[in-house]
Structures are given as C-alpha cells and as structure tokens.
C-alpha cells in the first residue's frame, strides 16, 4: 500500500491525538481511496513525520492542515529537490 501511495500525484495527511496507557500519542493518517494507512507515534511533529518515512520519500503534492511540521518538512524536501536537479 505504501508503494501505491508514493505513486499518487497528491496525498492527504493528518494526525489526531490518541491516548495510550494514559499518555498522549498521535495517529498519523494517510487516506488512500477506500483504505486509510494509520501510524501510531508518540509525537506529532517533524520527528514523527521522518520516523514514519512516507512524506520524506514522496515527490508529489502534500495536502495538509498547515501544521508547522508539515510546512517545515515540505519546504526542506522542495529545497532538496531544487538543489539536486
């Protein structure tokens, strides 16, 4: 499924809080038609995005809610693509 997601021209990403043993975690979601990929992580920000590893491998348009971490990662990836081309 991840391979299919990486070939899409655009992807939606979002995250929502989820309690695990009375500790706040985050479910990061990547909807893919009838299937949604979900990843549980202790964090919400840049570290979680890089640990999950989808956005850092993706080359298309990322649709998100302007969470600062998405903006940072998107900007870094764009800058790397410009530099390496």
pTM score: 0.81
Residues of the chain with pLDDT under 70: 74-85
Task: Record the tokens describing residue 56, joined without a space.
Answer: 């850092």
Q: Which residues contact 18 (CB under 8 A, 6 or more apart)?
A: 24, 25, 26, 27, 40
Quote the pLDDT of residue 82.
53
What is the tally of structural domains in the chain?
A: 1
- The whole-number pLDDT of residue 32 equals 87
Residue 65: domain span: 2-84
């Amino acid at each position: 499924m991840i391979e299919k997601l990486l070939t899409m021209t655009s992807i939606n990403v979002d995250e929502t809080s989820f309690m695990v043993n009375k500790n706040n975690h985050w479910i990061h979601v990547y909807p893919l038609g009838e299937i949604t990929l979900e990843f549980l992580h202790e964090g919400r920000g840049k570290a979680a995005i890089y640990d999950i590893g989808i956005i850092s491998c993706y080359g298309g348009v990322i649709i998100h809610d302007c969470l600062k971490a998405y903006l940072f990662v998107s900007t870094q990836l764009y800058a790397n693509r410009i530099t390496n081309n």
